[in-house]
A and B are shown apart, each in its own frame.
Chain A
């Protein structure tokens, strides 16, 4: 059996503010070469956790290890970081920004391939202030890659991007991973996590509530498919229907391992089947089950 090297290990991280414990005993490890997702709603503590690991925020307690040693100088040289919100210097062009950040590291990426990889060729002489949201995210990603990082942190990288820009960004992330870098991704987009992540940890209220690969977590929780139908199409109380049932935003969700049998059982209790949907369970369902509220709440 091949033992995977652990790039990053967080041990029992705690961050307390007066009256609030933002991170409460978070531990996880990231094997080399994977994309690790830290999921959770806004305020779950995932950005705080990542910023402690990145060294920009001091933990109340806990340790961070990089390749088995306490994270320090080597970590700063080898980690690439894209924050959720980062201002860049005004009046600098894209090329000047890249050159400035590149000069801060001993490890330096070749700029030309990086510029091509992040599709910044047309923007090199443009002032940072005149970039669109997607262009800016691509520049911030390129800034995170100027040191040929072995570990890349992406904090909510696609928040605020349009669907096409998001998909382009996902291609970039997969490209980075294909080049051998490990990735820690925080997001509240479930589709993003399912597409990009090999392993995920779901956080809520400062704690990790479950961890594993997306498929494994879903298999562990759900044996079958989900039937969705509007609550207005039901004639009876939900409790009269067997199987696992949720109600959310006027939609009833029924988890079933036998769709045909469930539909037969449902038919006397519904006025119409025109609005019925059958789908695979996803991470949003899992989070709802685990916490009782939506990921984007």
Chain B
């Protein structure tokens, strides 16, 4: 069995590595995005999210004019320490507490935080500002540090899902799968080989891109490289498996593209690649947990930004492993070799 898996694995690797255009694109896309966001666009996101430290759920706008400003999302916060971590990780632009002694916290390295701070100070212009600025303790994290795992994860997601999904549909359409069907190769062996091949290739690419950006941009890395590598491998397996489930029976590239996009876009938006889901409703936050990318990014950011240990990211790795098992099981069961 392993000989057959290795044969298909090796064949797929060669096909991928020799297709120079696809290979180059897989390497270049994340680099362009990271450098583009870091240098050209200033590397910050567009939405303003402000935490309001209070006991209740409802934010009373009347307590301060700042809370009536448009284009700012106000999120009730109860745990100050947790909120300060989110400020340092660019998940919140500002934390504010009204009451007898109004005060606020802002990340000095956050461009958005700076503008929201100005808005706060200007919002009560009728009276002298009576709000105190508090320092946040610990290192503030640059947006580039925060977004790097997101971009690497997103690239991994597209490469795993489209790379495998389209290839399987193409194999099915052009009869290559039918040819393999006429050999002793089982659907489980074929799927395992595809998962292993893409996992090795995308992990290799991710390692190269991570190393390059880490050296050039001096991005933050608090935890163990081994743990991060493990997160990448387990995450890649999970996303390739999802791509295989989607393409298990599809015979048209157009349909495959539509189905993959239908999963990829919500996954990209809800997994926290570009912005945090802080303040989103519980339904969206729970829905995000269905997607492998959410667990990959949670684990990767914990390792890179907070120095989380293997034990601390074990729940995310467990979730990814469980998702992979479900996806591979369904994929092998419903897999179709031919168009009929």
Binding site for B on A (CB under 8 A): 54-57, 73, 76-77, 79, 81, 83, 85-92, 96-97, 99-101, 103-106, 143
Contact = CB atoms under 8 A, between A and B. Distances in A.
7 contacts: A55-B181, A56-B337, A89-B176, A90-B19, A103-B3, A105-B183, A106-B184
A91 B8 contact: no
Contacts of B70: none
Nearest to B183: A104
B10 interface: yes
The B interface, classified by DSSP as helix, strand, loop or mixed, is helix
B183 A96 contact: no
Interface in B1-44: 3-4, 6-8, 10-12, 14-15, 18-19
The A interface, classified by DSSP as helix, strand, loop or mixed, is loop
B307 interface: no
Interface of B: 3-4, 6-8, 10-12, 14-15, 18-19, 171, 174-176, 178-185, 337-338, 340
A145 B281 CA distance: 61
B187 to A, nearest CB: 13
Contact of B338 (A57, A76, A79): A57
B197 to A, nearest CB: 12
B185 A104 contact: yes
Given A56-B181, A86-B178, A91 B14 contact: yes
A97 B179 CA distance: 12
Contacts of A100: 7-8, 10-11
B175 A85 contact: yes
B14 A83 contact: no
Nearest to A147: B183
Contact of A92 (B3, B15, B171, B181): B15
Closest 4 CB pairs of A and B: A103-B7, A87-B174, A91-B18, A104-B183
Contact of B15 (A90, A104, A106, A143): A90
A134 to B, nearest CB: 19
Contacts, number: 74
A104 B2 CA distance: 10
B182 A73 contact: no
A102 to B, nearest CB: 8
B11 A79 contact: no
Nearest to B18: A91
Contacts of B19: 90-91
Nearest to A102: B7
A219 B185 CA distance: 45
Contact of A56 (B6, B11, B18, B178): B178
Given A55-B182, A57-B338, A104-B8, 9 more contacts: A55-B181, A79-B182, A81-B179, A83-B179, A83-B182, A89-B14, A91-B15, A100-B10, A103-B4
B4 A86 contact: no
Contacts of A76: 182-184
Nearest to B19: A91
B182 A81 contact: yes
A51 to B, nearest CB: 8
Contacts of B11: 89, 92, 96-97, 100
Nearest to A78: B184
A89 B15 contact: yes
A104 B171 CA distance: 17
Contacts of B185: 104
A56 B338 contact: yes
Contacts of A85: 175
Contact of B184 (A77, A86, A97, A143): A77
A90 B23 CA distance: 14
A56 B7 CA distance: 21
Contacts of A105: 183-184
Contacts of A81: 179, 182
Contacts of B182: 54-56, 76, 79, 81, 83
Contacts of B15: 89-92
Contacts of A55: 181-182
Most chain A beta carbons < 10 A, residue from B8, B15, B19, B183:
B183
Contact of A87 (B3, B175, B184, B340): B175
B8 A88 contact: no
A86 B3 contact: no
Nearest to A76: B184
Contact of A83 (B6, B10, B175): B175
